[in-house]
A and B are shown apart, each in its own frame.
Chain A
């Protein structure tokens, strides 16, 4: 009975979802009709030998589905019928069957929203990426893998991917390293720990838009504070497309080109700002990890004559690995989502698109060039890349993570 009830409930909700999709021209009307027939069949099977009230509810549900054929919102009447039926069943249902009913009733609202706004759209993105220039301006036709073909030869896409690579390579180790240093020092039972923690944490809860506006002002070529501090009057940090490695190594006579020239100075400026923004979060996570390490370990090490540095390297660092692993994963995924600070600091994507990131490129393609298909192709490729990276990371790195303390 519990299973039948769950199926009845599940198909009823699915039917209503399909009704909505039909309204939005995503599902054909016959699918709704077919599902209604299925629900009716399931209903008859479930309600066999039930009290009269159950059947009344069933009729209301049927009426709701019928009216729903003409009006999507009215189809919700069917849900009222369901609860009437349950009222009739209530005293005849076993504990287990009641659990089946209420479990699904509780789960369905969130589940329906997740399916409608996350699961189906993910598949829809794949479908869109197979079309030719889908947008609201005109009809589009099936283009197969055409978008992906163009994408793989698109220098701007590779520029964005390269920037993402540099973003991970710079911000993740530097961020985690700095955060570990600060967290370990904060954990040394310092005074004003709360004050320090607040000061380090505030940038993280500050909106990136406002934070980027401030950094834009700090980076200002004429009146910026950074140029005053470094004595580099007039240096326009955010408009310098030269790679950082080529800038650093040029005095030594090395000439680096392309990818190996490293991220542009402008992108480095953006990364510095991002590290500043994210550091507080990393510190708090690492601090929580540190406080989980039992003090006895250090006491034992102390007795064995281990120095402070040895204690940090041999006890703290390995036992902190779950937290650092988590931060690494987060940094990796987050690098593909960098958008706000780039848009504020370099609204056009920088000189020669040198600060282009994947999400900014996706935004430009989708919402400035109105090419939803190409933008979807970017999204799908990014999805794939993230998936592969996460898998590799779990296979290779997670083995070295020390979960037991």
Chain B
């Protein structure tokens, strides 16, 4: 037992906590920004808890959404109307309009929306009516209210307040948000601005096939190298060892040329096939198979089991942990890769999540809310995977370092 004074313990926890806060901060910041309105995001003093996370606003967003058609996801249904209350003492009539899109991403919106403003006891009731038979995802609004008002409280906090001559300009990105539509406004913006569903499909499809195909090839080769005595084995092993020395960037250009001649540029093949056979996987699994007792295989051989049977019935089940390690690493590498998809794909339909995100970064400009929302979504599958298979992730990394 090592001794540890209370002061020492305190220092240990202090250092660890400070470090953990620094490590975790970018995640918090990403998440917080993804829930902020543009004006909240662009403050010199950071806002720690966005308006969109306050329960009092949720209630309003829910009922506004319910009025316009959907209390969860919001939207402005055909022939629906929605009333926003603006609590204020009597005074000049506020002007209300439905503006052209304020953000970086445009979305069709109701041009013919009818707006009626009336004073009702203690508040201005601003009634939006959709006379068309179309459904609109959002209903943006701008309210110009005179600066003569000593105070005013809109039912739902505006997404931006600006000064505009003698008026305050209250901007709403969506007056009919619904609960989830209100909280996750930026996520919806990002989702509708780029084909992320397609990106996710591409990423999962190519990474998944890379894992499955890679596992199959690596199991075969590793089993042969570990368990089958065949002439030229050391030669093969030497060649594989030598392959380990080739750095990835040397292969970029020649493999691109190969793919071009195969006419595989901008296809799934280009994303999957070149990295199917993995030296890392072969090594890892060979190590596993070498550590299994020879008696096991001798017994199977005496019972007449072919190599094929030995591999699938004995070696494979015993090497599941190694397979999971390899699978996680390959999937991570394929899912997180940017350079290779950037080189071998051109069309938006073939983009992977990371490439889509990279393009989105260029398009989003200063819409940091949508950008952070897209980033959050893009890392979500891996983070979820980590929490499901935490042990395998950690052990996989640890194992890669020891050998």
Contacts and interface: CB of A to CB of B under 8 A. Distances in A.
B247 A103 contact: no
Q: Give the 8 A-B CB pairs with smallest separation, nearest first.
A: A103-B230, A285-B401, A288-B398, A121-B254, A106-B224, A113-B277, A110-B221, A103-B228
Contacts of A3: 231
Given A118-B243, A213-B375, A110 B397 contact: no
21 contacts: A2-B231, A103-B229, A109-B277, A117-B255, A117-B273, A119-B243, A122-B251, A185-B12, A198-B390, A203-B23, A203-B26, A207-B335, A214-B375, A217-B33, A228-B45, A284-B394, A311-B2, A359-B249, A363-B342, A380-B250, A383-B250
A215 B27 CA distance: 10
B305 interface: no
B331 to A, nearest CB: 10
Nearest to B255: A121
Given A205-B332, A214-B375, A340-B338, A111 B221 contact: yes
Interface of B: 1-4, 8, 12-13, 15-16, 19-20, 22-27, 29-30, 33, 41-46, 217-218, 220-221, 223-225, 228-233, 236, 239-240, 242-243, 245-258, 260-262, 273-277, 279, 282, 306-308, 311, 332, 335-336, 338-339, 342-343, 353-354, 357-358, 361-362, 368, 371-372, 375-376, 378-379, 382-383, 386, 390, 393-394, 397-402
A181 B260 CA distance: 48
Given A223-B41, A228-B44, A292 B249 contact: no
A8 B59 CA distance: 76
Nearest to A282: B401
Contacts of B357: 207, 209-210, 213
Nearest to A376: B253
Contact of A379 (B1, B2, B250): B250
Given A359-B249, A366-B256, A376-B253, 17 more contacts: A111-B221, A114-B279, A117-B277, A124-B258, A186-B16, A200-B20, A201-B394, A201-B397, A202-B386, A205-B393, A207-B335, A209-B338, A209-B358, A223-B41, A228-B45, A298-B2, A375-B252
Interface string A233-246: 10000000000000
A190 B12 contact: yes
A280 interface: yes
A114 B29 CA distance: 42
B26 A214 contact: yes
Interface string A174-203: 000010011001101010001011111111
The residue in B16, B43, B45, B308 that gathers the most chain A C-beta atoms within 10 A of its C-beta is B16
Interface string A141-180: 0000000000000000000000000000000000000100
Most chain A CB within a 10 A radius of its CB, from B260, B279, B397: B397
Interface string A38-53: 0000000000000000
B362 to A, nearest CB: 8
A124 B336 contact: no
A125 B277 contact: no
Q: Is the interface of A mostly helix, strand, loop or mixed?
A: helix
Interface in A118-132: 118-122, 124-125, 128
Given A208-B336, A228-B46, A280 B23 contact: yes
Interface string A331-351: 001001101100110010000
Nearest to B225: A107
B23 A359 contact: no
Contacts of A199: 20, 23-24
Contacts of B394: 197, 201, 284
Contacts of B19: 178, 182, 200
B267 to A, nearest CB: 15
Contacts of A276: 22-23, 26
A371 to B, nearest CB: 10
B247 A336 contact: yes
A209 B354 contact: yes
B330 to A, nearest CB: 13
Contacts of A117: 251, 255, 258, 273-277
A182 B390 contact: no
